[in-house]
Structure 1
Amino acid sequence: MADAKITACLLGVVVAFLSCAEATNYTVGGSEGWNIPSSAGAYSDWASQHTFEVGDVLVFDFDSSNNDVADVTKEDYDACNTDSPFTVLSTSPANYSLDTAGDYYFLCTTAGHCSQGQKLAITVTEPPSGPTSSPPGSPPPPSPTTGATTSLSSVSSSLGVARLVLLMSILMGLLSQLFS
């Protein structure tokens, strides 16, 4: 009987930990993907429907022969300036991990695409239970990845450790109750 209770407790803790550590993958633009949109505000409309948190991943799905995605400064985003991006991802699908809280700016560097609305600005927040990793107003460092992204690897290590400590404390409390 005690073995079944211990197994159930351990399973519950593992499931709780894994569900806390999952990142959300967002396909930019939804089913339309990353291309010249039908309206200039399409990507801002899409972004307004989502809440982006540290650990999430943006997935840019596009025609690699005609599009790319670059992360840029706010000034370059506003001016559609493609001269000095932090990085340019040119192979689709391109995954971009949101590793720090702050504002992020993306655009396509193909001539004319940004001015036709192929650009995205988002704000990334810390998860509700997580610590603040950067002071307000500080720009996030560029953090591109391509290919598959494992959700557990995209969780900041300090947040993962804090959750693990909390869950281990709960487990120890449950085990002490079972054996007392």
Structure 2
Amino acid sequence: MVAFFSCAEATNYTVGGSEGWKIPSTAGAYSDWASQHTFEVGDVLDELEIMFDFDSSNNDVADVTKEDYDACNTDSPFTVLSTSPANYSPDTAGDYYILCTTAGHCSQGQKLAITVTEPPSGPTSSPPGSPPPPSPTTGATTSMPSVGSSLGIARLVLLESILMDLLCLLFS
């Protein structure tokens, strides 16, 4: 229950640092910026937030396919965030491609590709084709938790999260 004593924090990144999201002075500026950071999927207590600070009258933030990113094609973005500051919160591991849809901005370097990874302490999986973990031996017994106890734990975690958010609001 240590979580009650600390407020939920997001892992925040401001794209481009103090320069913000605009046509960069060098074509590889956003690639250089991204290479200095490790982006990991957050959990309930630590959400990944990538903030774009930009002039809303002349810029936006659009996530696109890799092909559209490579070609600077702005015709079919998944989403467009047009009000600054804009928070982008990837919730799964993978590659993300972001660009500005204002004519000419992408071709001048206003685009960002990032890879979001699972946190090191996250769930682990066996490589394909590997044998299952060994069974317990000599006198050890295992039992699956009942559905009721799993749901009870999930409800407790949800309640704890809500209470933490309320405490954070009260004391911030």
Same fold (TM over 0.5): yes
The answer to whether the 8 A contact 2:62-2:98 is kept is yes
Does the residue aligned with 2:97 lie in a helix, a strand or coil?
Answer: strand
Instruction: Go from structure 1 to structure 2 and tell me whether the alpha carbon gap of 1:140 and 1:60 turns closer, same or farther (over 3 Å shift).
Output: farther
Quote the Cα distance in structure 2 between the aligned partners of 1:56 and 1:22. Answer: 10
Q: Which range moves more in the overlay, 27-36 or 162-171?
A: 162-171
1:98 Cα deviation from its structure 2 partner: 1.5
1:161 Cα deviation from its structure 2 partner: 7.9
The answer to whether the 8 A contact 1:93-1:146 is kept is no
The aligned residue for residue 27 of structure 1 is: 14
The CA deviation string for residues 16-73 of structure 1, in whole angstroms up to 9 with x for no partner, is 6776963311000000000000000000000000000112991000000000010000
Instruction: Go from structure 1 to structure 2 and tell me whether the alpha carbon gap of 1:151 and 1:179 turns closer, same or farther (over 3 Å shift).
Output: farther
In structure 1, which of residues 114, 119, 130 is the aligned counterpart of residue 122 of structure 2? 130
The answer to whether the 8 A contact 2:52-2:85 is kept is yes
1:163 Cα deviation from its structure 2 partner: 14
Compute the RMSD of aligned alpha carbons: 14.6
The answer to whether the 8 A contact 1:23-1:154 is kept is no
Larger Rg: 2
Structure 1 residues not aligned, in runs of 5+: 1-13
Identity %: 90
1:130 Cα deviation from its structure 2 partner: 1.2
Instruction: Go from structure 1 to structure 2 and tell me whether the alpha carbon gap of 1:25 and 1:168 turns closer, same or farther (over 3 Å shift).
Output: closer
1:85 Cα deviation from its structure 2 partner: 0.2
The aligned residue for residue 5 of structure 2 is: 18
Identify, as 1 or 2, the structure richer in helix: 1
Instruction: Go from structure 1 to structure 2 and tell me whether the alpha carbon gap of 1:54 and 1:132 turns closer, same or farther (over 3 Å shift).
Output: farther
Quote the Cα distance in structure 2 between the aligned partners of 1:55 and 1:72. Answer: 22
In structure 2, which of residues 24, 29, 53 is the aligned counterpart of residue 42 of structure 1? 29
TM-score (norm 1): 0.63
The aligned residue for residue 92 of structure 2 is: 100
Q: Which range moves more in the overlay, 55-64 or 101-110?
A: 55-64
Instruction: Go from structure 1 to structure 2 and tell me whether the alpha carbon gap of 1:75 and 1:56 turns closer, same or farther (over 3 Å shift).
Output: farther
Structure 2 residues not aligned, in runs of 5+: 45-49
Q: Which range moves more in the overlay, 64-73 or 54-63?
A: 54-63
Does the residue aligned with 1:170 lie in a helix, a strand or coil?
Answer: helix
1:95 Cα deviation from its structure 2 partner: 0.3
Q: Which range moves more in the overlay, 124-133 or 106-115?
A: 124-133
The aligned residue for residue 47 of structure 2 is: none
Instruction: Go from structure 1 to structure 2 and tell me whether the alpha carbon gap of 1:130 and 1:97 turns closer, same or farther (over 3 Å shift).
Output: same
Does the residue aligned with 1:115 lie in a helix, a strand or coil?
Answer: coil
